[in-house]
């Protein structure tokens, strides 16, 4: 029996070892390397005796943890004086996202080795480039942000000491079917558990695959199927790994980035992909700059067959990808590089080393572009950079726009803690606009240089400050009055009992209480000012929670279900739509009163092109007034308030959806609306609820019968119960009949 047991043991050892080449780096080996590098360089202030003043060149830190196994996600910083936050451009390298796509991790490790050992005989040819990059920039490398998936690909022993491995695994280990077990199937696809981390960002997340969605293949290889592999997750940023990348990129003003991937289907092998041309016509605002650099990077990475170079292309998919989100939300231009052929885990050492080596050329080119150096056949610089300060030399947190390359899809691009901004451009003239709260705006024309960074020193002049205080009429409990004051740069909560000191400018004010008509005001602050505010009583003309469509006409083009008004019954609205739904009340029956519409909604519309419109219309379809347009994304429930007055024949409240010929989203859902109006007269007869009770109605009718003046009927909504609402128009009709008799 002993020989049998011994033989079984040997067989077990053989079958539990990974078949991947030992050349590839496991997660445990990566952590060993990180610790070794930290020991050698983390506190060594003179790592290169041949160089002076380089200081510490290596720093690493944990930026987050994986969602299931709580494995650290490491970030490495390479720079002269890496232990100091310096005023330098920053670049970001994401080595591995998808578990099986392991070439990127090897490129990341190779880059660290090159920078830490630049005098190595194999690297010395790039010595000038390496030193120029390290002395002029900070390079941040995240070797893997999917450590769980990396372990599945290389194999590991589970808690029962059973070897687990799937070399074709793609995702993390999220328990998608919630059964408490990590469910995966050997081979391509069909892994129930896990989230595709490059589908989990919120920009276009809705277009990613749902749970258990089957794969449809790709155009160049329709027979290749990878079911369940592209699951987007339960919600945007549901995965801690992507939360770590999100927070890290938001905390750092990265200028350029590369995210490495590989294509096992071969459909997108050996490509450089970058933000975006959606549906063939909707382009990223910086499209010319992005595409030119993408082409230059691709032309420096030879293909494996030696017949050409990587193929450059703008991304066309809309599905929660990192490169689109990072660009739109941080301004950093990220290039997704699909490394190698469909043989993306080659066991041929020569192919592995050659693939890494060929990709290093494109990587160095991007890093030199970011560092602003053209050394050793480097790129034309075409970078502008500037410091925004006040007259005392203090940095200012300012928004910086290149007007020719700006779009509303881009989140504000702000200066960093040094007051610094940077932009990659191309040859040409550009309009630079710098704005900050409390300062005069700055506008200038700038032309970047091909040979060096174009440096700008911008001093913003502080605006004079004035005192703003408030005189509130018809309202005693200021603590129950909530409000904000805002301009284009900043928003404040209002403390109405105290005087505000604000810079000169134009402001908007919004105040609301539970029982009064919301207040909207405009203030041009050019001197000290006491603002008189009259808080008015409100009546509730319409409350609709969309249990049915009784309050609306022309509603066949929208959907009313689940107690919501929806822009369409399907998931996404259609192209080239113009449709409206109209409130069935004639609002002109109440003359010369203020209305406020409150809408509880969530909206997702294409920026600048598709619109949710609230407007007043007339019997003449060409006569209308737009009250508010929404053309953006906010798909969390939120309230908007819209003030208006009825003008001329524009007396019907309409909700309109207008779309163009490409790129569609989920549109809007409205949970409920309230239409308030100003109550005139009989203020003392309104109880704390803001509604009239039956005693109030008797008083109103008595008053009307005594005076025969129907204008006194203009008062508040009567809410008899939840199912039977009598509004002011009903009351008018009742009293008019009384008067007729």
Mean pLDDT of the chain: 89
**Is residue 449 over pLDDT 90?**
yes
Q: pLDDT tens across 207-266, in order?
A: 999 999 999 888 777 778 899 999 999 999 999 999 999 999 999 999 999 999 999 998
Domains annotated on the chain, with CATH: 383-459 (2.60.40.1120), 465-535 (2.60.40.1120), 539-678 (2.60.120.200), 685-740 (no CATH)
Percent of the chain with pLDDT over 70: 89
Which residues are CB-contacts of 178 (< 8 A; sequence separation ≥ 6)?
A: none
**H or E element that contains 520:** strand 519-525
Scanning the structure block, which residue is given the tokens 């008019």?
Answer: 736
DSSP 184: -
Read off the tokens for 658: 């207008």
DSSP E strands, 220-351: 254-261, 271-274, 277-278, 282-283, 311-314, 333-338
**Is residue 693 over pLDDT 60?**
no
Backbone angles phi, psi at 703, to 5 degrees: -65, -40
Cα 657 to Cα 39: distance, rounded to the nearest angstrom = 61
Is residue 583 classed exposed, middle or buried when 0-12, 13-18 and 19+ CB atoms within 10 A define those classes? buried
Read off the tokens for 131: 């030193």
Cα 713 to Cα 716: distance, rounded to the nearest angstrom = 9
Span 71-96, average pLDDT: 98
Q: pLDDT tens across 384-393, in order?
A: 999 999 999 9
Q: pLDDT tens across 102-127, in order?
A: 999 999 999 999 999 999 878 889 99
Which has more confidence, 717 or 101? 101
Read off the tokens for 157: 């022993």
3 state SS of 289: helix
CA 291, distance to chain mean position in Å, is 22
Cα 266 to Cα 190, 201, 213, 297, 586: the distances in Å are 19, 24, 21, 20, 62
Cα 469 to Cα 473: distance, rounded to the nearest angstrom = 13
The DSSP secondary structure of 344-375, one letter per residue, reads TT---HHHHHHHHHHHHHHHHHHHHHHHT--T
The DSSP secondary structure of 596-659, one letter per residue, reads EEEEEEEEE--TTTSEEEEEEE-SSTT-EEEEEEE-SEEEEEEEEEEEE--BTTB-EEEEEEE-
Span 556-565, average pLDDT: 91
Is residue 471 classed exposed, middle or buried when 0-12, 13-18 and 19+ CB atoms within 10 A define those classes? exposed
- Report the greatest alpha carbon distance in the chain: 115
C-alpha dihedral, 130 to 132 to 136 to 138, nearest 10°: 0
> Sorting pLDDT into bands at 50, 70 and 90, what band is 546?
very high
Is residue 68 classed exposed, middle or buried when 0-12, 13-18 and 19+ CB atoms within 10 A define those classes? middle
* pLDDT value for 10: 35
Spatial contact of 324 and 316, defined as CB atoms under 8 Å apart: no
Cα 461 to Cα 326: distance, rounded to the nearest angstrom = 32
3 state SS of 62: strand
Spatial contact of 258 and 298, defined as CB atoms under 8 Å apart: no
Spatial contact of 675 and 541, defined as CB atoms under 8 Å apart: yes
């Amino acid at each position: 029996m002993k020989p049998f047991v011994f033989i079984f043991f040997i067989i077990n050892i053989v079958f539990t070892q990974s078949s991947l080449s030992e050349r590839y780096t496991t997660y445990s080996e990566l952590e060993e390397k990180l610790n070794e590098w930290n020991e050698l360089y983390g506190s060594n202030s003179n790592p290169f005796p041949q160089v002076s003043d380089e200081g510490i060149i290596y720093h690493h830190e944990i930026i987050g943890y994986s969602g299931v196994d709580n494995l650290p996600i490491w970030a490495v910083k390479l720079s002269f004086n890496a232990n100091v936050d310096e005023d330098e451009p920053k670049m970001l390298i994401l080595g591995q996202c998808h578990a099986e796509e392991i070439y990127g991790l090897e490129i990341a490790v190779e880059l660290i080795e090159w920078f830490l050992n630049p005098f190595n005989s194999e690297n010395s040819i790039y010595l000038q480039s390496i030193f120029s990059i390290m002395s002029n920039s900070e390079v941040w490398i995240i070797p893997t942000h999917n450590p769980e998936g990396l372990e599945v690909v290389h194999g590991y022993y589970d808690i029962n000491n059973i070897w687990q491995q799937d070399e074709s695994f793609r995702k993390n280990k999220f328990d998608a079917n919630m059964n408490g077990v990590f469910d995966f199937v050997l081979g391509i696809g069909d892994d129930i558990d896990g989230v595709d981390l490059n589908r989990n960002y919120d920009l276009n997340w809705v277009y990613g695959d749902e749970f258990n969605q089957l794969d449809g293949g790709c155009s160049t290889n329709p027979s290749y199927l990878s079911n369940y592999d592209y699951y987007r997750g339960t919600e945007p940023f549901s995965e801690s790994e992507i939360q770590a990348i999100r927070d890290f990129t938001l905390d750092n003003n990265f200028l350029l980035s590369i995210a490495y991937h590989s294509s096992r289907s071969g459909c997108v092998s050996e490509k450089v992909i970058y933000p975006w041309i959606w549906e063939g016509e909707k382009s990223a605002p910086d499209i010319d700059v992005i595409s030119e650099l993408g082409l230059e990077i691709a032309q420096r990475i030879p293909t494996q067959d030696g017949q050409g170079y990587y193929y450059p292309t703008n991304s066309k998919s809309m599905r929660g990808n990192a490169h689109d989100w990072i660009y739109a939300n941080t301004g950093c231009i990220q290039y997704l590089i699909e490394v190698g052929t469909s043989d993306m885990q080659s066991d041929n050492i020569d192919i592995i080393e050659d693939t890494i080596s060929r990709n290093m050329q494109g990587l160095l080119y991007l890093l030199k572009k970011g560092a602003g150096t053209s050394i050793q056949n480097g790129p034309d610089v075409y970078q502008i950079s500037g410091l925004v300060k006040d007259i005392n030399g203090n940095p200012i947190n300012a928004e910086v726009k290149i007007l020719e390359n700006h779009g509303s899809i881009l989140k504000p691009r702000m200066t960093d803690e040094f007051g610094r901004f940077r932009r990659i451009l191309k040859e040409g003239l550009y309009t630079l606009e710098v704005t900050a709260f409390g300062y005069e705006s700055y506008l200038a024309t700038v032309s970047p240089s091909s040979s060096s960074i174009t440096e700008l020193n911008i001093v913003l002049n502080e605006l004079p400050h004035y005192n703003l205080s408030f005189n509130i009429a018809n309202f005693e409990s200021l603590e129950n009055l909530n409000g904000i004051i805002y301009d284009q740069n900043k928003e404040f909560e209002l403390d109405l009992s105290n005087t505000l000191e604000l810079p000169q400018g134009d402001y908007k004010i919004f105040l609301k209480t539970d029982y009064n008509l919301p207040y909207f005001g405009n203030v041009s602050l050019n001197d000290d000012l006491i603002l008189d505010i009259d808080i008015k009583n409100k009546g509730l003309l319409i409350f609709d929670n969309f249990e049915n469509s009784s309050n609306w006409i022309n509603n066949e083009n929208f959907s009313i279900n689940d107690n919501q008004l929806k822009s369409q019954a399907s998931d996404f609205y259609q192209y080239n739509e113009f449709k409206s739904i109209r409130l069935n009340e004639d609002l002109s029956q109440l003359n010369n009163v203020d209305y406020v519409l409150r809408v509880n909604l969530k909206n997702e519309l294409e920026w600048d092109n598709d619109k949710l419109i609230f407007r007043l219309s007339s019997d003449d379809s060409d006569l209308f007034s737009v009250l508010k347009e929404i053309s953006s994304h906010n798909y969390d429930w939120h309230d908007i308030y819209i003030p208006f007055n009825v003008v001329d024949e524009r007396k019907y409240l309409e909700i309109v959806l207008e779309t163009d010929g490409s790129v569609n989203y989920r549109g809007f859902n409205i949970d409920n609306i309230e239409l308030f109006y100003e109550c005139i007269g009989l203020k003392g007869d309104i109880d704390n609820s803001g509604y009239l009770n039956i005693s109030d109605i008797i008083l109103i009718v008595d008053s009307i019968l005594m005076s025969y003046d129907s204008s006194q009927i203009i008062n508040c909504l009567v809410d008899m119960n939840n199912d039977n609402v009598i509004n002011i128009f009903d009351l008018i009709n009742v009293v008019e009949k009384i008067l007729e008799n």
